[in-house]
Amino acid sequence: MIIFEPKERIAEYVIQRIGSDNTPDDLFRYVTIGLIKDNKLVAGLIYYDYTGTSISVHIGGHPNKRWLTKELLKVMFHYPFIQLGVNRITGYVAAKNKDAIKFDEKLGFVREGVLRKATKDDDLIVYGMLREEC
């Protein structure tokens, strides 16, 4: 089941999964999408930094669970590209997070650069997806 609220709970889940030191309060304005399976939150997305032409996203899912569904994929890309009409989605992945790198690249995100020492202990890889690449 796809959920959009409570957004603080979904944001906390994603932040925990991606290993960030941030809290939902650190994100100025954001929208969340979550996936519930067997009455448990197993995946979530945080969309933030909406500019009118682009938006950033963090994606987090339960390890060792198959959570990426067709329904979630549809909503994942419908919201930014169709509902908001952005030209691009930007994602940031810790360089040591090999599973997330593989996931983003399998979804079709393109590696665009590296933000060196962007976190306490790692670089961040910048990924982007343009509307026409989706």
pLDDT tens digits along 13-49: 999 888 777 766 766 689 999 999 989 999 999 999 9
Q: End-to-end distance of the chain based on CA atoms, in angstroms?
A: 23
Give the residue-averaged pLDDT of 50-71: 90
Beta bridge partners of 79: none
Query: CA-to-CA distance for 87 and 100, rounded, in angstroms?
Result: 23
List the structure tokens of 63: 């390890």
What pLDDT does 68 receive? 86
Residue 66: which pLDDT band, with cuts at 50, 70 and 90? confident
Centre a 10 Å sphere on the Cβ of residue 108 and count the other Cβ atoms it contains. 12
pLDDT tens digits along 90-131: 999 999 999 899 999 999 999 999 999 998 899 999 999 999
Whether 100 and 74 have beta carbons less than 8 Å apart is answered as: no
Whether 33 and 45 have beta carbons less than 8 Å apart is answered as: yes
| β-pair type (30-37, 54-61) | unpaired
pLDDT at position 65 over 90: no
What pLDDT does 26 receive? 66
Helix (H, G, I), strand (E, B) or coil at 77: helix
Give the residue-averaged pLDDT of 43-62: 94
